[in-house]
Amino acid sequence: MAEDRDADRPYWSIDMPGLDEHRAAELAGLVRRSDAGIMATPVDPRFWLTLHLDRETVEVIREALAAAPATAVTAALVESFDEWLDRPADTGAAPRAGRSAHGGEDGAGGP
């Protein structure tokens, strides 16, 4: 299934400063019409915050969220960060061991 293959691939994005809505739509259309098989999705900065964070920043934010009072939002963000951090970096680093979305080691659930 194509969706299963896509889940195993890294998700790349392109940051294009100065791009306006019209040009973003034009570029997305060009990509969709190409033979690359890539679905381009313009992201409107008026409604979406797109963060390009390095690994160390994600680790720091993740630890702060894990130590904060648990809410559905903090748990979802920790889980998203864990999923991203568990992917090996291009530098050959191994996935992090034993972190859970609940903040503890090996799913223990504590801070």
Q: pLDDT by residue (tens digit) across 60-102? A: 999 999 999 999 999 999 999 999 999 876 655 545 555 444 4
Q: What is the C-alpha R_g of the chain?
A: 17
**Mean pLDDT computed over every residue of the chain:** 79
pLDDT of residue 10 exceeding 90, the answer is: no
Give the pLDDT band (50/70/90) at residue 106. very low
Predicted structure pTM score: 0.59
User: Cβ contacts of residue 19 below 8 Å, gap of 6+?
Assistant: 27
Q: Kindly report the backbone phi and psi dihedral angles of residue 52, in degrees, each rounded to the nearest multiple of 5, phi listed first.
A: -110, 95
CB of 109 within 8 A of CB of 103? yes
Per-residue pLDDT tens over the stretch 36-45: 888 888 989 8
CB of 58 within 8 A of CB of 84? yes
CA distance 94 to 18: 36
